[in-house]
Amino acid sequence: MSEDLEQLKQRLPLLEYLQRHNWTGNHVGAGDEFVGLCPLHPDTQPSFYINARKNLFYCHGCNCGGDLIRFVERSEHLSFRESIAHLKHEIALAAESELLDRTAAFYQMQLQRHREAVDYLQKRGLRDPSLITELGLGYAPGGNLLRHLADFGYSLDLLLRAGLFTSQGREAFSRRIIFPCYQQGRVINLYGRSIGAAFPHRLLPRSKGGLFAWQSVSVFSTVILVEGLFDLAVLWQAGFRNTTCAIGTHLTPAQLSQLGDQPGRDVYIAFDNDPNQAGQEAACRLARRLKIAGLYARIVSLPADQDPNSYFLAGASAADFRACLERAQLL
């Protein structure tokens, strides 16, 4: 048991745990010590010290000190046993996130090596190489991921848990353009757009996380919300960097509260104008939810059968799209 605990504390050092939970500390002198505000009591003067080498903390404000497990007991109000379970869960999540980072990087390498992937991006009107890099776009040809990941020694169990392989051992993504979904700088899911006959959209069976690229979009007081990531990509390419996407028409409560993190934000909903009106109906429902949440919602109407991606492909310019935005009525 005690060996287990030592191993656990080594795998997740105290300082790393705190930083992951948004603690910031400054170096004290040239040694292994850091000081910052105490997360355990209301603190105005930095009184919380970490010794990174000893993997211990001490707070001169609330006189609490100890190791990572002690810290979790106090900060999460958990028992010793529960704290250990909590930390094991964190370690598992970190391993999955590292795996997804590596997978996304692998798919990025594949993109330029496969003519069909590059052609597909061209066909969808995505031409700006720097944007393709910035979005971290990749390509899953299918059939070669396991060999690549085997070099890192991941367990099959982890690969299955992350959703990268099905229980039959097949790769989740094959012949798909991959958009990595980031949250706090880490990949938390991958979206794959089929370039062949398979069902077009696929996410790994795990949380889709927050709104796409919210870290950069959240600074805007006016936001454009689209259904698909290709809509987002072409709008970014046309200069509408305030575009975000929930991947689909349904927003989770967490995504809704992201939109509301700036009171009175203007949200332009630019969903597909498909013949069965599904996109427009979803836009109306969403607009009502946004209004209740205190936001200003406008529904952008594109020409019949168009989504933002196809609209630009059909020859529309940034000025044309801006005109659509200007015509959108406040709900």
Minimum Å distance from CB 58 to Zn ion?
9
Nearer to Zn ion, 35 or 40 (CB): 40
Going residue by residue from 43 to 62, which x/- string records binding to Zn ion, judged by CB under 5 A?
----------------x-xx
Indicate the residue among 83 and 244 with the shorter CB distance to Zn ion: 83
- Tell me which DSSP letter residue 165 carries: B
In the bound state with Zn ion, the residue whose beta carbon lies nearer, of 61 and 142, is 61
CB under 5 A: which stretch of 33-41, 96-104, 118-126, 228-236 binds Zn ion?
33-41
* Phi and psi, residue 56, nearest 5°: -130, 155
Q: How far apart are CA 142 and CA 129, in angstroms?
A: 23
**Closest of 297, 281, 301 to residue 289, by C-alpha:** 297
Residue 60 burial class via C-beta count within 10 angstroms: exposed 0-12, middle 13-18, buried 19 and up: middle
CA neighbor of 274 nearest in space, from 239, 315, 245, 309: 309
Q: In this complex, which beta carbon is closest to Zn ion, that of residue 38 or of residue 316?
A: 38
- Find the binder of Zn ion among 20, 41, 289, 291 (CB under 5 A): 41
Instruction: Give 330's DSSP letter.
Output: B
CB of residue 50 vs Zn ion: minimum separation in angstroms? 12
At its nearest, how many Å lie between Zn ion and the CB of residue 39?
A: 8
Map residues 62-101 to x or -, x wherever contact with Zn ion holds by CB under 5 A: x---------------------------------------
Q: Among residue numbers 294 through 313, which ones bind Zn ion (CB under 5 A)?
A: none
How far, in Å, CA of 116 to CA of 198, rounded? 15
Tokens representing residue 182 in the block: 């980031």
Specify the residue for token string 């999540």. Answer: 93
Smaller CB distance to Zn ion: residue 64 or 283? 64
* Residue-wise burial string across 218-233, b where 16 or more C-beta atoms lie within 10 A, e elsewhere: bebeebbbbbbbbbbb
- For Zn ion, give the closer residue by CB, 49 or 182: 49
Among 40, 52, 313, 331, binds Zn ion (CB under 5 A): 40
CB of residue 176 vs Zn ion: minimum separation in angstroms? 49
Q: Which is nearer to Zn ion, 48 or 182 (CB)?
A: 48
User: Cβ(9)–Cβ(69) under 8 Å?
Assistant: yes
Q: How open is the CA angle 98-99-105, to the nearest 5 degrees? A: 90
What is the rounded CA–CA span in Å between residue 274 and residue 253?
26
How many residues in the chain? 331
CB of 17 to Zn ion, least distance (A): 16
Asked if 139 and 176 touch (Cβ cutoff 8 Å), the reply is yes
By CB under 5 A, the residues from 205 to 234 that bind Zn ion are: none
How many residues of this chain bind Zn ion (CB under 5 A)? 6
CB of 25 to Zn ion, least distance (A): 13
Shortest distance, CB of residue 56 to Zn ion, whole angstroms?
14
Q: State how far the Cα of 329 lies from the Cα of 237, in Å rounded to an integer.
A: 25
Q: 12, 14, 38, 238: which one contacts Zn ion (CB under 5 A)? A: 38
Of 48 and 107, which CB lies nearer to Zn ion in the complex structure?
A: 48
| Interface with Zn ion (CB under 5 A) | 38, 40-41, 59, 61-62
